[in-house]
Copies of this chain bind each other. A is one copy, B any other.
């Protein structure tokens, strides 16, 4: 595994560490400042720009009902100054699939996009998907 790949996976782990700890300062620090950012929370409309995205995280992390979260099966895909990570998010109510995009900025990898959405309950390698919407 390359050093960049390790760094991107470490940045992804840092995102979930900040999320699980409801650490708004860490969450703010790990999102890019020089790049345009976007975020799709499950079921939300897409959010664009740092102000809108960070307001959403303040709302989520400040909510006493915010669920415990963990992640697994992270894979990193790198190219130039952008990278994306896919991983499975585990929440009390089920699992989500996340696409997390990172960009190289000021010597590190910062998050520029997070998109999480549902996975079919019980979906695994041996099952057909429940519908063929897209």
Contacts and interface: CB of A to CB of B under 8 A. Distances in A.
Interface of A: 19, 35-36, 38, 40-46, 48, 59-60, 63, 65-67, 69, 75, 77, 79-84, 86, 88-89, 91, 93, 96-97, 99, 101, 103-104, 112-113, 115-120, 123-125, 129-134
A111 to B, nearest CB: 12
A66 B113 contact: no
Given A84-B113, A117-B118, A91 B133 contact: yes
9 contacts: A40-B86, A67-B133, A79-B80, A80-B80, A84-B113, A99-B101, A101-B101, A116-B133, A117-B118
A49 to B, nearest CB: 11
A134 B69 contact: yes
List the 8 closest A-B pairs by CB distance, nearest first.
Answer: A80-B80, A117-B117, A82-B82, A80-B81, A79-B82, A43-B120, A44-B129, A99-B115
Contacts of A113: 77, 84, 86, 99
